[in-house]
Amino acid sequence: MAPLFITVLSVPILKEKVGIHRWAAVVVGLIGVLIIIRPGSDFWHFISIMPLLGALFFALFQILTRLLSGTEKTHTTLFYTGLGGLFWSSLIVPFVWVAPSQIHVLVFLATGTLGALAHLCMINAFDFAEASLLAPYNYTKLLWVAVFGYLVFGDIPSFEMWIGSGIIASAGLYVLYRERKHSIVKE
């Protein structure tokens, strides 16, 4: 849902003009996601609202990053968003703290480093493209989850996962094709 939220929020907050092709790519990508997660009648339990809220806040995070990328230096944006994330994630620490083992410390450091690098790439991407253009590419995370799920846990993706992933990849490639075609016409 995050790419849909990003596209929707990019219009009033960032004043982006989102054309029919980007909207179509977001909707097609969402259809691919729905094929993968196969929501049933049990989908709208309270627990299902948490990922939806997570997607909304992730979309706001990306929208705010886009706003900051236009006025702040890359490393300043990276520092303050990291500091904000540290603050919010630390609120729960007093209630759940358990001393980490050495392997947990290494995993936390690796996760933090990779997260910071990913955020740095995202900030740089926003210097070159609108949030609504980049939004459909968030769907590719599902493909990476499938690959790493197999490599790390031996989880074999379902038939629906392959179909949904193909649809998601097609939506992203379509946006790439349209933007490339559009930029060639401008030149």
- The pLDDT value recorded for residue 110 is 95
Whole-number Å distance between alpha carbons of 117 and 101: 24
Phi, psi of 3 (to 5 degrees): -60, -35
Which residues of the chain fall below pLDDT 50?
none
Q: Containing domain of residue 44, as a range? A: 2-186
- The pLDDT value recorded for residue 151 is 92
User: How many structural domains is the chain composed of?
Assistant: 1
Number of H helices, E strands in the chain: 9, 0
Whole-number Å distance between alpha carbons of 161 and 142: 9
Measured CA angle at 3 (ends 185, 158), to 5 deg: 110
Whole-number Å distance between alpha carbons of 41 and 14: 35
pTM exceeds 0.75 for this model: no
How many Cα atoms within 13 Å fall on the side-chain side of residue 39?
A: 12
- The pLDDT value recorded for residue 182 is 64
Alpha-carbon dihedral 136, 181, 125, 26, rounded to 10 degrees: -10
Q: Which residue has tokens 């083992």? A: 101
**DSSP states of 125-153 as a string?**
HHHHS-HHHHGGGGGGHHHHHHHHHHHHH
pLDDT tens-digit series, residues 121-171: 888 888 888 777 777 777 777 778 888 889 999 998 888 888 988 887 787
- The pLDDT value recorded for residue 40 is 64
